[in-house]
Amino acid sequence: MSKISANELRSKYLNFFKSKGHTIIPSASLVPEGDASVLFTTAGMHPLVPYLLGQEHPGGKRVTNVQKCIRTGDIEEVGDNTHLTFFEMLGNWSFGDYFKEDAIKWSYEFLTNKETGLGLPLERLAITCFAGDEDAPKDTESAEIWKSLGVPEHRISFLPKEKNWWIAGTTGPCGPDTEMHYWIDDGTPASREYDVNEPKWVEIWNDVFMQFEKMPDGKLVPLKKPNVDTGMGLDRVLAVLNGQSSVYDTEIFKGMWEVLALSQDIMTNDEVKKARIVLDHVRAGVFMVSDGVEPSNKDRGYVLRRLLRRAMVMARMLNLKDKWLEALVGKVIAEYASAYGELVEKSEQIFQVILAEQKKFEATLEKGLKQFELRIKSQESRISGTDAFDLYQTYGFPKELTKELAVQAGQVFDAVKEREYEEEFKKHQELSRTASAGQFKGGLASHSEKIVRLHTATHLMNAALRQVLGENVWQKGSNITEERTRFDFTHGQKMTPEEIAAVEALVNDWVARDLQVKKETMSLEEARNLGAIGVFGEKYADTVSIYTVYDPNTNEVVSREFCGGPHVEHTGVIGQFKVQKEEASSAGVRRIKAVIE
């Protein structure tokens, strides 16, 4: 019997912060609104960025929520004791209101108080604070507050930026954080000091003190009013509170395990990991579909497809019985019915979309796996990038899945193979561009050509705005449809008709000059050094892709942005660019709608 259920934990958290003057707000969608630069909401702070930058929140200066999140950056680790692609983040927020003192005091109270909070024993808690560097000083202030509340000095460590600093991506609101770690309840006493390499210390909560806005040129500009962003992972805390060593052992997953009809006691570690991947990926898939995502070959749709197909392959390896997916989807919906009513409302659509994807993939899954086996067994033809592409195109195997299967079979799927795959992919895209729509084998739906042209036009507009209005222009969000591009950027006043005309003229000049567009992959640092412009809110990996628009004759660079693409290869194909509307979006942020003709 669990000591506390997920529903109890959600309401306990929200009510605690309500009692401290916070307004309870609902979770935003997993699909970020008005920001085409990120695929999914990856943290509680993501939908709240405008408010962290000074916009007024309708709920006031203190709000609290449980936010649905998706992170696929750690997908390799999913299936261990703590990693998940879908998770919920409990959070409390101060928009220029309270700061370190109250945030830490309330975190402490909620964690340790038996009546108002969770009643966790202090002996099992450890705290980390920011160690300080050239950007900001050592956060002794937070450490002193923790000490004044009774946390012993030896349980407070100072760690560098990689650990105790938070930013969503490379630009935007950021600052030092203080993290709370819990020594899992396995009967052993906690070590005297926190040890970052000790898996028994599990991070359960993070209080971020957002004091700066990081600009794409790397500069930190102090925010007018500092904010607090906190994030507590619901699954982790639930496991900790109930004495479970894995997030997959909580009551949330209990019914889902039953559906799989597997007994963990007689499974190998590898089988347990596969089963956990099935549970995690299907749960994430259900939530994605409920927020309107459908499987496809690009962007969010591709992530969903990849998760569902990976789950299906794992399920086959585990010999799950027929109808396992249908039953599991039903269990996920039932488990979250009271906390996320949208799952019940959309249940018909969820079943339909997920089962259609199963039907589609199962038609080729067996054959694809056989092909894979054949190719892997034959000495001469080990899995190549071209094989991986064939498996994708003909049998619908996402590249990452083939790669994983190859690695499991003891093969290397290195950068050379990755390149081979990409080349095949590109060749295919070129072929498909010349073919009429809908004729491609395997249904490789490329981005619509109009959207791709508008996308490159948007990069040019961004560069033109910075030339005309100055370097204070930063992209805040964008959204592109077949009809138009919508672009939000920082700028204090309405643009004059002359400024708008100048932006149009610049873009159209670059189009007329038929500049080259190239994509390069490089380290984040290199990209920064080249002055690439980041897009607000994106969490960039260590290796990033950069699009540069340049004049091949003079090497003049007119635009260089962090971007996943796709883009046109040369600007001549874009067409005539025209601004349709320029209006206010929010305080200090303007919005342009533009078209190409």
Instruction: Report the site for ligand SER in 53-92 (rule: CB under 6 A).
Output: 91
Choices 42-50, 234-242, 383-391, 455-463; region in contact with ligand SER by CB under 6 A: 42-50
Listing DSSP states for 71-90 in one string gives --TTGGGTTSSS--SEEEEE
Cα–Cα nearest to 182, from 250, 121, 229, 246? 121
What is the number of other CB atoms lying within 10 angstroms of the CB of residue 458? 26
Minimum distance from CB of 128 to ligand SER (Å)?
A: 13
142 vs 458, beta carbon nearer ligand SER: 142
Report the C-alpha gap between 111 and 230 in whole angstroms. Answer: 13
Minimum distance from CB of 31 to ligand SER (Å)?
A: 18
Minimum distance from CB of 494 to ligand SER (Å)?
A: 33
41 vs 475, beta carbon nearer ligand SER: 41
Residue nearest ligand SER, Cβ-based: 231
Minimum distance from CB of 254 to ligand SER (Å)?
A: 27
229 vs 291, beta carbon nearer ligand SER: 229
Minimum distance from CB of 235 to ligand SER (Å)?
A: 14
Minimum distance from CB of 77 to ligand SER (Å)?
A: 16
Instruction: Report the site for ligand SER in 359-388 (rule: CB under 6 A).
Output: none
Minimum distance from CB of 336 to ligand SER (Å)?
A: 21
Angle at 163 between CA 161 and CA 166, to 5 degrees: 70
55 vs 386, beta carbon nearer ligand SER: 55
Of the residues 87, 166, 397, 489, which one makes contact with ligand SER according to CB under 6 A: 166
518 vs 539, beta carbon nearer ligand SER: 539
Choices 224-232, 237-245, 424-432, 486-494; region in contact with ligand SER by CB under 6 A: 224-232
Choices 183-191, 229-237, 246-254, 493-501; region in contact with ligand SER by CB under 6 A: 229-237
Helices 497-512, 449-469: inter-axial angle, 10-degree rounding: 130
176 vs 396, beta carbon nearer ligand SER: 176
Of the residues 173, 226, 231, 477, which one makes contact with ligand SER according to CB under 6 A: 231
162 vs 597, beta carbon nearer ligand SER: 162
Q: Which helix (H) or strand (E) holds 561?
A: strand 557-562
166 vs 257, beta carbon nearer ligand SER: 166
Would you give the binding string for ligand SER spanning residues 178-207, x where CB under 6 A is met? Answer: ----------------------------x-
Q: Tell me which amino acid residue 560 is.
A: R
What is the number of other CB atoms lying within 10 angstroms of the CB of residue 133? 12
32 vs 396, beta carbon nearer ligand SER: 32
Instruction: Report the site for ligand SER in 546-575 (rule: CB under 6 A).
Output: none
Choices 192-200, 226-234, 413-421, 518-526; region in contact with ligand SER by CB under 6 A: 226-234
Q: Tell me which amino acid residue 487 is.
A: F
209 vs 487, beta carbon nearer ligand SER: 209
Would you give the binding string for ligand SER spanning residues 89-108, x where CB under 6 A is met? Answer: --x-----------------
Of the residues 44, 285, 398, 477, which one makes contact with ligand SER according to CB under 6 A: 44
48 vs 75, beta carbon nearer ligand SER: 48
Of the residues 208, 239, 511, 532, which one makes contact with ligand SER according to CB under 6 A: 208
Cα–Cα nearest to 390, from 420, 431, 353, 413? 420
DSSP state of 446: P
Q: Tell me which amino acid residue 147 is.
A: K
Angle at 355 between CA 351 and CA 361, to 5 degrees: 155
Q: Largest Cα–Cα distance in the chain?
A: 74
Alpha helix (H) residue ranges in 85-173: 100-112, 140-149, 161-164
24 vs 522, beta carbon nearer ligand SER: 24
Residue 43 makes contact with ligand SER by CB under 6 A = yes
Cα–Cα nearest to 441, from 392, 482, 476, 490? 392
Strands 172-183 and 125-130, how do they pair? antiparallel
For residues 285 and 40, is the Cβ–Cβ distance under 8 A?
Answer: no
Of the residues 229, 249, 335, 582, which one makes contact with ligand SER according to CB under 6 A: 229
Minimum distance from CB of 44 to ligand SER (Å)?
A: 5
Q: Which two tokens stand for residue 146?
A: 């923790």
Report the C-alpha gap between 18 and 87 in whole angstroms. Answer: 22
177 vs 561, beta carbon nearer ligand SER: 177
Reduced to 3 states, what is the DSSP secondary structure of residue 351?
helix
Q: What are phi and psi of 291, to 5 degrees?
A: -95, 20
231 vs 534, beta carbon nearer ligand SER: 231
Report the C-alpha gap between 204 and 236 in whole angstroms. Answer: 6
Minimum distance from CB of 228 to ligand SER (Å)?
A: 9
Report the C-alpha gap between 510 and 572 in whole angstroms. Answer: 8
Q: Which helix (H) or strand (E) holds 223?
A: strand 220-233
Helices (H) and strands (E) in the chain, counts: 18, 16
Handedness of CA 116, 121, 122, 125 (dihedral sign): negative
Residue 28 makes contact with ligand SER by CB under 6 A = no
Instruction: Report the site for ligand SER in 443-482 (rule: CB under 6 A).
Output: none
59 vs 565, beta carbon nearer ligand SER: 59
- Residue 350 CA: distances (Å) to CA of 285, 289, 333, 339, 396: 9, 6, 9, 17, 21
Of the residues 45, 277, 391, 452, which one makes contact with ligand SER according to CB under 6 A: 45
Choices 39-47, 94-102, 307-315, 498-506; region in contact with ligand SER by CB under 6 A: 39-47
Residue 47 makes contact with ligand SER by CB under 6 A = no
Report the C-alpha gap between 563 and 37 in whole angstroms. Answer: 8
Percent helix / strand / coil, the chain, rounded to 5: 45, 20, 35
Listing DSSP states for 157-207 in one string gives EEE-HHHHEEESSSSEEEEEEEEEEEE--SSSPPPSS--TT-TTEEEEEEE
Report the C-alpha gap between 155 and 452 in whole angstroms. Answer: 53
Residue 230 makes contact with ligand SER by CB under 6 A = yes
- Total site size for ligand SER, rule CB under 6 A: 10
Instruction: Report the site for ligand SER in 502-541 (rule: CB under 6 A).
Output: none
Contacts with ligand SER, residue ranges (CB under 6 A): 43-45, 91, 166, 206, 208, 229-231
